[in-house]
Amino acid sequence: MLTAAAPPPPHDLAAKPAARTGAHLVVEALEREGVDYVFGYPGGAIMPVYDALPGSRLKHVLVRHEQAAALAADAYGRVSGEPGVCLATSGPGATNLITGIANAFMDSVPMVAITGQVGTSLMGTDAFQEIDVFGVTLPIVKHSFIARSAADIPEIFAEAFALAKGGRPGPVLIDLPKDVTQALGPFPPAGPVPAPAGYASPDPASMRAAEALIRAARRPVLYFGGGIAIARAEAALRDFHDRTRIPAVATLKGLGGLPTEREDFLGMLGMHGTRAANTAVMESDLLICVGARFDDRATGKLDTFAPGAQVIHIDGDASEISKLRRANVALPGDIAAILTQLEPGRLDIAAWRTRCARNAADWAFRYDAPGAGVYAPALLNALSRQAGDRFIVTCDVGQHQMWVAQHCRFSRPQAHLTSAGLGAMGYGIPAGIGALFAEPDATVVTVTGDGSIMMNIQELATLRRYGLPLKIVLLDNSQLGMVRQWQELFYEQNFSEVDLYDNPDFAEVARAFGIEAFTVDRRADVPGAIDRLLKTRGPILAHVRIDPAENVWPLVPPGKSNSDMMEAS
Select which of 129, 341, 458, 487 is catalytic. 129
Closest of 285, 259, 299, 261 to residue 355, by C-alpha? 285
Determine phi and psi for 470, rounding to 5 degrees.
-75, 135
Summary count for the chain: helices (H), strands (E) = 21, 20
Note the helical H segments in 469-516: 481-490, 506-512
Closest to 553 in 3D by CA, of 494, 501, 497, 485: 485
Known catalytic membership, residue 567: no
End-to-end CA distance of the chain: 46
Cβ neighbors of 123 (< 8 A, separation 6 or more) are 117, 130, 177
Q: Is 508 a catalytic residue?
A: no
> Which of 151, 136, 143 has the alpha carbon at shortest distance from 181?
151
Please list the alpha-helical segments (H only) found in 217-251: 227-230, 234-244
Instruction: Name, in order, each residue with C-beta under 8 angstroms of 493's C-beta and a sequence gap of 6 or more.
Output: 487
**CA 173 to CA 257: how far, in whole Å?**
30
Among 300, 294, 301, which Cα is nearest to 326's? 294
| Coil, strand or helix at 560 | coil
Q: Is 145 a catalytic residue?
A: no
Q: What's the rounded Cα separation, in Å, for the pair 431 and 103?
A: 11
What is the H or E stretch that residue 424 is in?
Answer: none
In this structure, how many other beta carbons lie within 10 angstroms of the beta carbon of residue 495? 13
For residue 392, give the nearest of 255, 538, 562 by alpha carbon: 255
> Taking the CA atoms of the chain, what radius of gyration do you get in angstroms?
24
Pairing between strand 20-21 and 184-185? Answer: antiparallel
- Active-site annotation holds for 482: yes
Percentage helix, strand, coil for the chain under 3-state DSSP, each rounded to 5? 40, 20, 45
| Active-site annotation holds for 128 | yes
Q: List all residues 6 or more positions away from 467 whose beta carbon is below 8 Å from its beta carbon.
A: 1, 2, 3, 4, 5, 538, 539
Question: Catalytic one among 482, 518, 550, 565?
Answer: 482
Burial of 147 (0-12, 13-18, 19+ CB in 10 A): buried
Q: For residue 356, how many other CB atoms are within 10 A of its CB?
A: 26
| Spatial distance between the Cα atoms of 471 and 447, rounded to a whole number of angstroms | 8
| Active-site entry in 128, 261, 263, 490 | 128
Q: Which amino acids are annotated catalytic? A: 66, 128-129, 178, 482
